[in-house]
């Protein structure tokens, strides 16, 4: 072919050119390399203007996704930080206690462990002073009692007292603490299970409860005395319980008594004669008069001796069962009436001949324990000696009693229909 003007062009990229023009581009060739290009409206050139648009949108989409990811991660971090700041934590006193007592042999459980142990708190067995008590089972099948603390005072002081005191004690007449749980604001205590509950239900006026108590009166009273004596003399430091009463004496399957609930307990060195307290501790009807009426801020182990004496009175002295036949006991101070009855050699109404001597012995020991002045009260070692001696060797104490406490006042806790568990 002859070309008269211009030059001959050989175009082999027709397919690419049509594609470029279809995307509103202008096809051409780079003069330097001879490479086919598609000149787009924005001045950019590529094989296809739409491909360039797609690349641009991919870039925009990628940057947007990255920004969303950063925002999402920031939100998650902020949420975690917020939860950490506002999640309930153990009180400072509890946290300090856990640091100080890291060597405790008592097992620490998680709240999830407690939930599984109690089968989601299915079997409630009682209501304690600070929360509910549930029956539970350890992984080895051991039956336990779990106290879920729902009310807390003094920044968790009662919880710390319980774990620090009972967690280190091993005595046949003191309930055993098997473990505890501290998780946020949740706290729980795990004890050995006491099949017969608290002594309180056996000091009521029912014939069955009264018969069981009379049958085992001596053994139960002596066991409680030995437990208190161990707290006062058998530990490294002297421990004052401050709340000895029927509710806080638990009975196992064999009716062995065990002291429980150490939330008010205080410990101090044995070379000191007393411990400083900031407020009265105990339960009305069992609290020592020097703690309730006096202005003294010092308490000694003799406060527990008084409470033990009133507990013995509750065990042998319910006026509904052994009070005067004419019903006049409510008009006179009950210990005064018991003192007169024993001193005059009279019989207690409602007590069989086989139990009369034992009741008189326990009542006499109780009268010694509830002397008004702490100096006049025996220590628990002397109380045990009284139990182990014959009745004929016991002398009657003077009538130095707390006349301000009336009988109904004394047994106020016994008349309650509470399901208090004692833990």
Helices and strands of the chain, counted as H and E runs: 14, 15
The answer on 296 and 171 residing in a single domain is no
Per-residue pLDDT, 382: 97
pLDDT at 85: 43
| Mean model confidence pLDDT for the chain | 78
* C-beta neighbour count of 239 within 10 angstroms: 27
The dihedral formed by the CA atoms of 186, 190, 194 and 198, expressed in degrees to the nearest 10: -40
Same domain, 187 and 209: no
Predicted confidence at residue 322, as pLDDT, reads: 52
Domain-embedded: residue 251: yes
User: What percent helix, strand, coil does the chain show, rounded to 5?
Assistant: 45, 15, 40
DSSP 297-327: -EE-THHHHHHHHHHHHHHH--HHHHS-TTS
> Which position has the higher pLDDT, 12 or 157?
157
Q: What angle (nearest 5°) sits at the alpha carbon of residue 105, between those of residues 91 and 107? A: 65
Q: Same structural domain for residues 115 and 207? A: no
The residue with greater pLDDT, 413 or 86, is 86
Quote the percentage of the chain above a pLDDT of 70.
67
Residue in 347, 336, 294 with CA at minimum distance from that of residue 313: 336
Specify whether 166 is located in the same domain as 239. no
Domain termination residue (choose one: 140, 162, 192): 192
pTM > 0.85 = no
136, 179: one domain:
yes
pLDDT in tens, 265-304: 888 888 887 887 766 677 888 999 888 775 566 789 999 9
Alpha-carbon span 106 to 335, nearest angstrom: 42
- Distance separating the N- and C-terminal Cα atoms of the chain: 116
Task: Judge whether 53 counts as a catalytic residue.
Answer: no
Please pick, among 53, 100, 243, 271, the residue that the annotation labels catalytic.
Answer: 243
SS3 205: coil
Give the mean model confidence (pLDDT) for residues 116-131: 87
* b/e 167-188 (16+ beta carbons within 10 angstroms → b): bbbebebbbbbbbbbbbeeebb
Angle, alpha carbons 148-164-227 (nearest 5°):
95
Output the pLDDT for position 87: 46
Please indicate whether residue 128 or residue 2 has the higher confidence score (pLDDT).
128
Q: Helix, strand or coil for residue 204?
A: coil
Is 378 a member of any domain? Answer: yes
362 phi, psi to nearest 5 deg: -65, -40
d(CA 284, CA 358): 27
Which candidate, 317, 315, 349, 352, places its Cα nearest to that of 336?
317
47: pLDDT strictly greater than 60: no
Q: Does one domain contain both 237 and 264?
A: yes
In which band, very low, low, confident or very high, does the pLDDT at 414 lie, cut at 50, 70 and 90?
very low
What gap in Å lies between CA 137 and CA 124, rounded to an integer? 13
Least confident segment among 58-62, 63-67, 92-96, 224-228 = 92-96
| Residue 274 and residue 298 in one domain | yes
Average pLDDT over residues 306-310: 95
Q: 316 in a domain, yes or no?
A: yes
Q: What domain count does the chain have? A: 2
The verdict on residue 20 lying in a domain is no
DSSP 3-state of 251: strand
Return the pLDDT at 185: 82
335 contacts 405 by C-beta, under 8 angstroms:
no
C-alpha span between 127 and 236 (Å, rounded): 32
Over 70: is that where the pLDDT of 79 sits? no
Q: According to the per-residue pLDDT averaged within each range, which of 60-69, 241-250, 270-279 is highest?
A: 241-250
Q: Which domain holds residue 124?
A: 92-192
């Amino acid at each position: 072919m002859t070309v008269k003007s211009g030059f001959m062009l050989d175009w082999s990229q027709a397919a690419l050119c049509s594609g470029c023009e279809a995307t509103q581009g202008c096809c051409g060739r780079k003069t330097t390399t001879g490479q086919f290009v598609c000149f787009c409206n924005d001045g950019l050139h590529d094989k296809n203007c739409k491909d360039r648009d797609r690349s641009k949108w991919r870039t925009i989409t990628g940057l947007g996704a990255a920004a969303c990811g950063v925002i999402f991660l920031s939100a998650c971090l902020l949420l975690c930080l917020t939860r950490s700041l506002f999640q309930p934590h153990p009180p400072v006193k509890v946290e300090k206690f856990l640091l100080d007592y890291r060597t405790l042999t008592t097992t620490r459980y998680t709240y999830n462990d407690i939930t599984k142990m109690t089968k989601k708190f299915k079997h409630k067995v009682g209501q304690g002073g600070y929360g509910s008590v549930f029956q539970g089972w350890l992984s080895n099948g051991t039956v336990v009692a779990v106290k879920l603390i729902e009310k807390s005072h003094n920044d968790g002081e009662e919880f710390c007292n319980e774990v620090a005191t009972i967690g280190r004690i091993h005595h046949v007449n003191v309930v055993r603490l098997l473990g505890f749980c501290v998780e946020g604001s949740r706290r729980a205590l795990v004890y050995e299970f006491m099949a017969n509950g608290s002594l309180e239900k056996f000091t009521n006026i029912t014939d069955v409860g009264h018969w069981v108590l009379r049958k085992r009166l001596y053994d139960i009273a002596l066991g409680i005395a030995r437990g208190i004596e161990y707290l006062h003399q058998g530990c490294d430091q002297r421990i004052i319980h401050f709340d000895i009463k029927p509710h806080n004496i638990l009975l196992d399957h064999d009716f062995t008594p065990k002291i429980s609930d150490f939330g008010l307990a205080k410990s101090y060195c044995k070379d000191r004669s007393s411990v400083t307290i900031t407020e009265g501790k105990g339960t009305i009807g069992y609290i020592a008069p020097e703690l309730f009426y006096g202005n003294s801020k010092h308490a000694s182990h003799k406060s527990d001796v008084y409470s033990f004496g009133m507990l013995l009175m509750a065990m042998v002295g319910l006026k509904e069962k052994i009070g005067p036949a004419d019903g006049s006991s409510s008009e006179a101070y009950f210990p005064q009436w018991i003192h007169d009855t024993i001193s005059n050699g009279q019989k207690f109404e409602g007590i069989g001949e086989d139990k009369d001597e034992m009741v008189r012995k326990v009542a006499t020991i109780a009268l010694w324990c509830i002397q008004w002045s702490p100096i006049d009260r025996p220590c628990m070692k002397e109380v045990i000696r009284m139990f182990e001696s014959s009745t004929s060797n016991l002398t009657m104490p003077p009538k130095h009693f707390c006349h301000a406490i009336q009988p109904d006042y004394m047994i106020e806790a016994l008349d309650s229909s509470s399901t208090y568990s004692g833990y």
